[in-house]
Amino acid sequence: MWLSKKNLKAEYDTELLKQTESYTYYIKHVENNDKDVINEGEHENVPFICMKETDNCESEEQTELVVSLIEETNTFRTYECGDYFIYESVKGVSSDEERLELVTNAYKLNADYIYSDVDNITCDGKRIAPFYKPCFSKDTAKCFDYFSDFYAVKKMKSKMDIQCYEKISHIEKVLFHYIIDNNNCNPNEVYKLNNKGYETSDFYVSEIGIQEDKDCISIIIPSKDRPDLIRTCLAGIEKAKIKSGINTLNVVIVDNGSTDIHKKEITDVINGVKQRNTGISVSYLYEQAEFNFSYMCNRGAKESTGKYLLFMNDDIEITDEQFLLKMLYFAKMDHVGAVGCKLLYPGEERRIQHVGITCLKYPGPSHKLSTFSDDEVLYFGRNRGVHNVLAVTAACLMVSNEKFFKIGGFHDKMKVGYNDVDLCVSLYENGYLNVVNNEACLVHHESISRGRDSASEEKLKRLDQERNLLYERHPWLLTEGDPYYNVNLAEDFLDYRVNVIPDFERRDYESLQKQEYNAFVNKAEHAAQKANAVPATKNMFMNVEEISRNRNFMEIRGWALINKKINYLYDTFITVMGEDGNFYTYETVPVKRDDLKEVFPEALNTELSGFFARVPASSVKLSDDGELLRCGVLIINKQTGKKYYAGFRKADI
């Protein structure tokens, strides 16, 4: 079938745009907006017909909306539109069409206050760096003004503090554009944390007003066979107690079966704490049993005397001696459920392990920004200040005793995984907001005690079962998603990026079998074997750079091109030997490569000449050590059907 060069070039340019400028691609192909450049222009009155609900729910009335500029100061422009005022920062720009969209959504949602997502626009008019915001987050709002750059409010309520509005809505769409310097601006720095002093010890001491009888904290530490970790953990707690001024503190160590030697060492550590008259009471609950984190935490909570419970892993290193105050400040609030803190991996790199848990539909609960450096501000302050999140890790989690038992504690059918997420979601369902305070920062030597959950197929299977149980208990997570995670953001990554996923990065990508080229491939292989070599067709160059096993698939990566030709005219396929000795051909997806143009200057349009394929391992012949025996690359001209082939044996890789 004849395919025009024009259409093939358009497909190529679209895929290249997706892999190089994902936000521009999103604007054009997801938002369906060809205008990736915004011009400020004049503010004109634009009529628009809006369907406005009346008190009679069976009828609607039409309202003509007109946007009118009524005031401009050195900080804000104010517009009037129907029953709403629109406020936009003078640091950016929006169009009348976007202002109307804000107000029409306010009418539809009957919102008292409504705000939108924003992005940044360079001096030459290029839209970059979108900030896809969360739903209204009460505690985040106190330290981070992320909502008042572009918003609409009902006229009668325009002077109220945002915390006083009954219905605050959010449009998950970019309707406002900050104007930034092309060459001298980090978009993340556009949003400054308006920190209220949360990071200072004086603030916490003065604001909390510790009452010893009422504010007693019980620290519950599940542990087994790690007296060294218990010693380090208790030493850190002692220092934190002195620094915070909290005199009423008790620790409950829950042991599910340490050896006699380790049990004695743990007892000696506890006796040492008592002998030093630290003022910390320590209980030791010993019971030989299988590891069940939920059961151990629940048991420790029942034996606790504190009004506030702090669940802490024994592999937490207390590097912030004020963390108790920083967590207690929020745990004392009536509307707050669970409180977490920032956790870093050990080492000088200051890599993030936890700044809150995001509950995603497809991959499941995720530690966003995990492994990223904490030395810089990430995604508009996500690793700074205070944020409402759906869940925090129980590696270090504080909650009031009353709220914990109100929801039934940890679900003990979740023995290892997702029990903290289940607890936090249950708190959220009961009307409480969960908080991560990034100003409280500790080091987590993750999974030292019990090993990683990905260490075996058995652990992975158990983890899958516990994740399924989480969604059975809270099915709305799969239908509605995490309210603090914008629908415009991709789910399958640890960073925050626009929801544009090239095929080679999709988890659900699986190569489709193409058997119609078997005869050609077998003929080419036969000729190569007779010559005791597998030469490439003239002008065809390729390299298979990586072959790896991933669960049930062989993942194959490399590049292939035709020199001195227009490479967007060609499709690339991977060929592998099957159990029957025949070769089977699978489609690949293109991957951007920046290095090929320099190596092959005469080849045209080589930017997408990288390839990736995920081939079912069950359909290919593997060596005894699980590797491919033979593999090849087939390139086919989309217009003429001409085929080029090159292959190699396992020993050639």
Give tens-digit pLDDT for 376-409.
Answer: 889 999 999 999 999 999 999 999 999 999 999 9
User: Quick one: how far is CA 237 from the chain centroid?
Assistant: 31
pLDDT at residue 85 tops 50: yes
pLDDT band of residue 189 (cuts 50, 70, 90) is: low
Q: Does residue 8 or residue 620 have the better pLDDT?
A: 8
Report the DSSP beta bridge partners of residue 116: 171
Give tens-digit pLDDT for 605-622.
Answer: 999 999 999 988 777 777
Residue 123: what are its φ and ψ, rounded to 5°?
Answer: -60, -25
pLDDT band of residue 7 (cuts 50, 70, 90) is: very high
pLDDT at residue 48 tops 90: no
| Residue 529 confidence (pLDDT) | 61
Distance CA 49, CA 30 (A): 25
147-171 burial, b at 16+ Cβ within 10 Å, e below that, comes to bebbbbbbeeeeeeebeebeebbbb
- Side by side, the strands of the sheet bearing 643-649 are 513-514, 583-587, 570-577, 630-637, 643-649
CA dihedral 183, 189, 380, 92 (to 10 degrees): -70
Tokens of 128: 């970059």
| Dihedral sign, Cα of residue 312, residue 315, residue 321, residue 327 | negative
| Residue 170 confidence (pLDDT) | 97
* Cβ atoms of 573 and 588 closer than 8 Å: yes
* Cβ atoms of 291 and 415 closer than 8 Å: yes
Distance CA 131, CA 45 (A): 28
* Cβ atoms of 527 and 535 closer than 8 Å: no
- Type of residue found at 494: L
* Cβ atoms of 194 and 139 closer than 8 Å: no
Average pLDDT of the segment spanning 623-644? 83
Tokens 């929006």 — which residue?
A: 94
Report the DSSP beta bridge partners of residue 559: 543, 610
pLDDT at residue 653 tops 60: no
Closest CA to 420 of 466, 372, 483, 361: 466
Distance CA 391, CA 264 (A): 36
Distance CA 287, CA 255 (A): 6
Q: Does residue 536 or residue 615 have the better pLDDT?
A: 615
pLDDT at residue 181 tops 80: no
User: Quick one: how far is CA 196 from the chain centroid?
Assistant: 26
